[in-house]
Structure formats: C-alpha cells, structure tokens
C-alpha cells in the first residue's frame, strides 16, 4: 500500500463477538468510499476476527492488521501466534510495542525481536512514546525505544516499518498532544532514523500519531504537525466517528497539496 496518509483503527479487545465485529467493519467499509483515495485504512481487530473480516473487503479497500505477534517462529509455543499465521489470514500490518503491551512487561528487547520477525515479510507498526512530559527526558525515551527496536535491521526491512508516536499520557485520556509536540517528535524521529540509517530510509518510513485522536482534532494535527497519519483507538470503535476522521484526513490532505 503506497497511500499518502495511513489511518489505523486499533480495536484493542473489542467488540465482544464476531457478529458485532462484522457489523462494525461493514459500517466502516460502507462509509469508506473510493473518494478517500489518498487514505490507506487499516483495521486492526482481535486475532479471531481477522480472517472473517478479510473476506468482507475483497477489494482490499480496508486492509487488516494484528495487535501483537509472537517473538517466536512456528513451533512449540502454546498460546502464541506467529507472523506467518497472521499474514496467511490477511493481516498486512502488525502493531508491535503498543504501550498496553509494554505495560504487561514487554521490554524494548522483546519489541526488537518481534519487529525483526515481522519485517522479514510484512509490515510492522512500531509504537513508541513517553509516559510523561514536564521535566522528563521524553526524547531520550523515544530515542532508546527506536534504537533498540530497529537494531540490526537490514535497510530494506526498515522500509517496512511504520512508526506510531503514541505518548502514553494521551492514550484513552482525551488529552491529545499539541500539534507542536507532535511536530517536534516527528522531526526527532526522522533525525534518529537518519542517524541510524540514512536520509533516504528516514524519508521512506511514515510517522503516525496516536493518542485520543478524534474527528475534531484530525485536521489540525494533519495540517500543522505534518504526520503521515493516525493510530486511532477508542474513536475507531464508532463507525461514524472513524469515517469522519478518514474524511477529514482526505479533505485536509487534498487542501494541503492543491
Ligand atoms: P486512543 O488509543 O485513540 O483511544 O487514545 C490509541 C491507541 O492506544 O492506539
């Protein structure tokens, strides 16, 4: 997918049943007209729903992803799901290092192994972000997360990574980061990628923002912070709100580039 803007809906552990997941997916699909041609939309449901939902979008207008992956390849790892399995049911993007997984004990080293597994064939959405602002060294936190996660990756595989800047204090709190915060972090991430690899690679890696994204803050974030899209949690569970985010992203992108 080489879309200009990527909008990802991370459904987390929702909705409770396959029927409800299908209904939400269909509502989003029906609202996602071809006119939103610059926006790549990725729905990231819980694993048991992926293959059924994949069938509901045969044209691939909505892409699918997964929220996590095993750090192991196939084998004797009870309860784990390998990247090849996710890929074979239609998950083209895999979120790695979401703060809700890091809160369950996932370290930067585990994140690094997972990213390495995913980008051998597919695309990883690598989440980074600080817990607090104020006097905290938030650039230092993001720097370490990036350096560790991308360590040792061949340049061709780095191009399969999408970075999602998700300040933890903004997730699910209604407290969105300001456009200035997002813009300076995007610049910092691009600089770090340039130092680790080179400018060409840094240019090829999209940087998304996530943390209380809603239809009413999409325009400012896209217009002024220059992000390449959004990772949306809560608002992706309401079809109308999510479609409004996509529509606003298309409109703003069109205006910026006309
Ligand atoms: P939120 O979640 O949009 O509900 O803040 C974002 C995320 O966790 O990816």
Q: Does residue 39 contact residue 253 with C-beta atoms inside 8 Å?
A: yes
Does the CB atom of residue 177 touch ligand 1 within 6 A?
A: no
Query: What is d(CA 209, CA 198) in angstroms, rounded to the nearest whole number?
Result: 22
Query: What is d(CA 251, CA 245) in angstroms, rounded to the nearest whole number?
Result: 10
Non-local (6+) Cβ contacts of 29 within 8 A are 56, 57, 61, 62
When mean pLDDT is compared across 25-39, 139-153, 200-214, the lowest value belongs to: 25-39
With 60 as the cut, is the pLDDT of residue 2 above it?
A: no
Quick one: which of 120, 256, 118, 128 has its CA closest to 192?
128
Q: Whose CA is nearest to atom 7 of ligand 1?
A: 233
What pLDDT sits at residue 150? 97
Query: What is d(CA 219, CA 248) in angstroms, rounded to the nearest whole number?
Result: 6
Does the CB atom of residue 210 touch ligand 1 within 6 A?
A: yes
Show the CA angle centred on residue 142, arms to residues 160 and 182, nearest 5°.
Answer: 85
Residue 65 phi, psi dihedral angles, 5° rounding: -140, 180
Query: What is d(CA 120, CA 28) in angstroms, rounded to the nearest whole number?
Result: 30
DSSP state for residue 174 in the 8-state scheme? S
What pLDDT sits at residue 58? 83
Show the CA angle centred on residue 39, arms to residues 56 and 177, nearest 5°.
Answer: 115
How do residues 151-198 score in pLDDT, each as one tens digit? 999 999 999 999 999 999 999 999 999 999 999 999 999 999 999 999
DSSP state for residue 182 in the 8-state scheme? H
When mean pLDDT is compared across 1-15, 45-59, 74-88, 151-165, the lowest value belongs to: 1-15
What pLDDT sits at residue 4? 92
CA 234–ligand 1 middle distance (angstroms): 6
What pLDDT sits at residue 21? 98
- Among 12, 215, 233, 236, name the best residue to mutate to test ligand 1's pocket (greatest count of ligand atoms within 8 A of Cβ): 233
Handedness of CA 181, 2, 201, 123 (dihedral sign): positive
Does the CB atom of residue 232 touch ligand 1 within 6 A?
A: yes
Average pLDDT over residues 21-43: 92
Radius of gyration in angstroms for the set of CA atoms belonging to the chain, rounded to a whole number: 17
Residues noted as catalytic: 98, 166
Q: How many CA atoms lie within 13 A of 119 on its CB side?
A: 26
With 70 as the cut, is the pLDDT of residue 1 above it?
A: no
- Provide the pairing of β-strand 229-232 with 62-66: unpaired
Query: What is d(CA 197, CA 193) in angstroms, rounded to the nearest whole number?
Result: 6
What pLDDT sits at residue 35? 76
Exposed, middle or buried by CB within 10 Å (0-12, 13-18, 19+), for 189?
buried
By three-state DSSP, how is residue 41 classified?
strand
pTM: 0.96
Query: What is d(CA 216, CA 232) in angstroms, rounded to the nearest whole number?
Result: 13
């Amino acid at each position: 997918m080489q879309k200009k803007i990527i909008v990802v809906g991370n459904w987390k552990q929702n909705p409770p049943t396959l029927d409800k997941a299908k209904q939400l997916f269909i509502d989003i699909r029906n609202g996602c007209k071809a006119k939103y041609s610059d926006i790549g939309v990725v729905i990231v449901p819980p694993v048991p729903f992926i293959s059924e939902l994949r069938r509901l979008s045969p044209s691939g207008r909505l892409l699918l992803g997964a929220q996590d992956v095993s750090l192991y390849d196939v084998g004797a790892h009870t309860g784990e799901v390998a990247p090849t399995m996710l890929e074979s049911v239609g998950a083209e993007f895999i979120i790695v290092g979401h703060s809700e997984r890091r809160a369950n004990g996932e370290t930067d080293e585990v994140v690094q192994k997972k990213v390495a597994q995913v980008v051998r064939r597919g695309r990883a959405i690598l989440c980074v972000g600080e817990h607090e602002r104020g006097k905290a060294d938030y650039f230092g936190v993001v720097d370490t997360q990036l350096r560790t996660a991308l360590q040792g990756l061949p340049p061709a595989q780095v191009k399969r990574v999408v970075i999602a800047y998700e300040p933890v204090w903004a997730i699910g709190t209604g407290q969105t980061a300001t456009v200035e915060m997002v813009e300076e972090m995007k610049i910092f991430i691009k600089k770090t990628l340039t130092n680790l690899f080179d400018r060409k690679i840094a240019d090829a890696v999209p940087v998304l923002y996530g943390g209380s994204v809603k239809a009413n803050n999409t325009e400012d974030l896209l217009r002024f912070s220059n992000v390449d899209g959004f990772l949306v949690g809560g608002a992706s569970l309401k079809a109308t709100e999510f479609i409004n985010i996509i529509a606003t992203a298309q409109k703003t992108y069109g205006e910026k580039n006309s």
